[in-house]
Structure 1
Amino acid sequence: MAIISTAGLARTFQTRNGPVEAVRGIDLTVRPGEILGFLGPNGAGKTTTLRMLTTLLPPTGGAATVAGHDLVKDPAAVRAKIGYVAQSGGVDPSETVRDELVVQGRLYRLSRSEAVARAEELARDLGLVDVLDRKTAALSGGQRRRLDIAMGLAHRPEVLFLDEPTTGLDPGSRADLWELVRRLRDAHGTTVFLTTHYLDEADALSDRLVIVDRGAVVAEGAPAALKAEHGCTTLQDAFLAITGRGPAPVDTAPVAV
């Protein structure tokens, strides 16, 4: 059974110059406990698709279910089952790590005692115990990103959406987050929907890749299968062969797999 399923999912924006089809009918299936890499060049429609799947933007066509709930008919139920970690994060720099985690738990209707216990559990799991009482403004980039992910996990979601989770991090912090994502899948069975411009990251982490371009799916499969299909040794070369254009330029500092 799919934990994410879309059929003809579409989004058209009305502009002064006429309608713009940002997403032109996405058919997508994600299995429970899978790490799915969702890739595409700038303007491909991946951000719009992500915003629809996380209920931040209503679709204008097609249908989708996420964690067993209809995206349009029951968005509140979808939100209860998913975690979303935006690229920019969302922590309050004037609050402590502990307070941020407790408040997040309370927003998901945990009791005060449950929220406190969950905050401490997440701190242990994500290596934040030593900074629980530190203001978030004083965290390193890697610590802040782990806190972002911890907040997305406060209510034990079935699906975690990660939008460019390691952009701007040093190689060591990137490697730590890669290990965390794998642990979420292996230890907790969490489904991870990952967008990234780091193709080495997508190659190392993803069980399966979906590549979109100009609002539609143009390729999907395991990283090794996509590389073999296009006679490439790197995912970068396969991506270029599939789309004819590259992802946004990023710092591609090497990270140990």
Structure 2
Amino acid sequence: MQLTLEGRRALITGGSRGLGLAMARAFAEAGARVAIVARDPGALEEAAGTIPGATPVAADIATEEGCARAFAAADAALGGIDVLVNNAGTSKRGPFMEVTDAEWQADLDLKLFAAIRLTRLAWPGMAERRWGRIVNVLNTGAKAPPPTGAPTAVSRAAGMALTKILAGEGAPLGINVNALLVGKIDSDQWVRRHAADPKGQTYEEWMAEAGKPIPMGRMGKAEEFAAMALALVTGPGDYVTGTAINVDGGLSPVV
């Protein structure tokens, strides 16, 4: 079975770096035309330059207006959206009593409401064509929330519930909806964490140490995550919907 997206059009949020960029590249290599969304125009242009034919869309999807602008630009450029990847997010977390209302709201706006709003915009076209694929990128805290995991584990758990609801409603319409749950995967957030660590290790040394607690003994690669996303939106994923798949090297205590 071929992993082909020939003739399909994909919109990927958080697409200028890390997992989003890896997915955009994988989808484009499989034949899709892609639009990538992020807030930083400079990073977007640089990322789009590495993907033939990619459409960069600068927008803040933490707002209703930003979601509408991002979708309209991508839809106009591509002529429709067949695949939506809700990937934008941060890993904001801390002790419950230290998380402010503003931090709760910002996390929910970016991770939950952006997915709701963009899905609402993409849904009618997918339903009309009787074919659509939606992937919600969450993290393993959605299934196994750790102490000091607020607000991110809560918004991600809500995203997992949203995935299941949409899968049930989308199945009769040819729309498959799944979630991929990130564990420890090499991406920009780990680069930032290394930069803030005073140990003085090289990035490779620091990452090797961070990967030791994982059953597979190493951190994951963005390309490995992208390959799983590609499988869900191509032929192998045709009979898969409503799932939340851990991509974590066996780290999560919950399957």
TM-score bucket of the superposed structures, by smaller chain = 0.3 to 0.5
Query: Counting strand residues as a fraction of each chain, which structure ranks higher?
Result: 1
Q: TM-score, normalised by structure 1?
A: 0.35
Q: Which of structures 1 and 2 has the bigger CA Rg?
A: 1
